């Protein structure tokens, strides 16, 4: 299951990404003013001054920004449920589990409560 936009934002902000939302007004060459809407800019912990596209939920980003080196991350496939599963074991013997259509989704859902706790 994919996270909602709000869960996506909450997760990455918990991983030191910053967001800034600014109002935007579309204008046209003839001077006409168009729609008003908000634009969200994302800033990574690596380049806090340079706007980035929102981070994808993929294994590269999750391991780079959310998984600590000392955590033990394991994946397995649940044949009954037909989905990917992930278990994260922390050094303090706490365990977090997640499931999804892909390994990245499973890892995201295992990390989500942990990131929320650390906020």
> Is 94 part of any domain?
yes
- Map tokens 């600014």 to a residue: 22
Q: For position 84, which CATH number holds? A: 3.30.160.20
Sequence length of the chain is 119
Q: Check residues 52 and 81 and name the one with the higher pLDDT.
A: 52
> Is 18 part of any domain?
no
Q: What tens digit of pLDDT does each residue of 57-72 get?
A: 999 999 999 999 999 9
Sheet of strand 95-100, all strands in order from the earlier edge strand to the far edge: 72-78, 83-89, 95-100
Domain total in the chain: 1
Mean pLDDT of 39-48: 92
How large a percentage of the chain has pLDDT more than 90? 72
> Is 109 part of any domain?
yes
> Is 37 part of any domain?
yes
């Amino acid at each position: 299951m994919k996270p909602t936009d709000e869960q996506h934002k909450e997760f990455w902000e918990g991983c030191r990404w910053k967001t800034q939302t600014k109002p935007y007004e579309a204008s046209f060459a003839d001077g006409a003013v168009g729609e008003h809407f908000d634009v969200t800019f994302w800033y990574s912990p690596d380049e806090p001054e340079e706007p980035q596209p929102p981070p994808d939920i993929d294994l590269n980003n999750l391991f780079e920004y959310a998984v600590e080196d000392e955590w033990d991350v394991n994946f397995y496939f649940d044949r009954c449920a037909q989905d990917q599963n992930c278990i994260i074991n922390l050094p303090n013997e706490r365990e977090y589990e997640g499931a999804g259509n892909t390994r990245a989704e499973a890892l995201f859902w295992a990390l989500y409560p942990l990131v929320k706790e650390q906020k």
